[in-house]
Amino acid sequence: MIDRREFVTTGLLLAGASTLSTPVLASPAADIGIPNPELFIYDSRYPQARELAKTMGAAGVKLIAIEGDFTPVWSATVQPLWKQRPMVVAGMTTERALFVLQTLAADYRMKLFQSHVMELVGGSEPLHQWLLVPRAPKQQ
């Protein structure tokens, strides 16, 4: 079990894909109140994202691949899931896809918990690792 600090500084959000391990990704991280991701959205044009997707897939996380633009998967795949309930979603995408995702997520009572820009490795847009989480339940 990792603690919050470790999670934030060395875990899913801030580490490079090659340092990630299944236990980190699959860990309930109950001590910080964040359950496992239910979805992993990644930009399949990038090797780092594909590598991380393999790990996430092996951990039982539903994978959703995009190629830069989030549009093709929004209506058919993601929106129906988010209409059911807010959920934890991890991702590795470009910044513009993240912007679209976090903006849409806000309509479904979710928020960006953390994001980290990765070093630019080829291409003109850097990748981001990020995590969307449900907003706090409403109080009376």
Binding site for another protein (CB under 8 A): 68-72, 74-75, 94-96, 99-100, 103-104, 106-107, 111, 120, 124-126, 135-136, 138-140
- Give 11 or 128: the residue with its C-beta nearer to another protein: 128
Q: Min. distance of Cβ 118 from another protein in angstroms? A: 12
- Judged by beta carbon, residue 25 or residue 87, the one nearer another protein is 87
Nearest-approach distance from CB 17 to another protein, in angstroms: 20
User: What minimum distance in Å lies between the beta carbon of 128 and another protein?
Assistant: 10
HEC profile of the chain: CCCHHHHHHHCCCCCCHHHCCHHHHHCCCHHHCCCCCCEEEEECCCHHHHHHHHHHHHCCCEEEEEECECHHHHHHHHHHHHHHCCCCEEEEEEHHHHHHHHHHHHCCCEEEEEEEECCCCCCCCCEEEEEEEECCCCCC
Q: How far is the CB of 34 from another protein (least distance, A)?
A: 15
Residue 51 vs 95, nearer CB to another protein = 95
Q: Which CB, 54 or 96, lies closer to another protein? A: 96
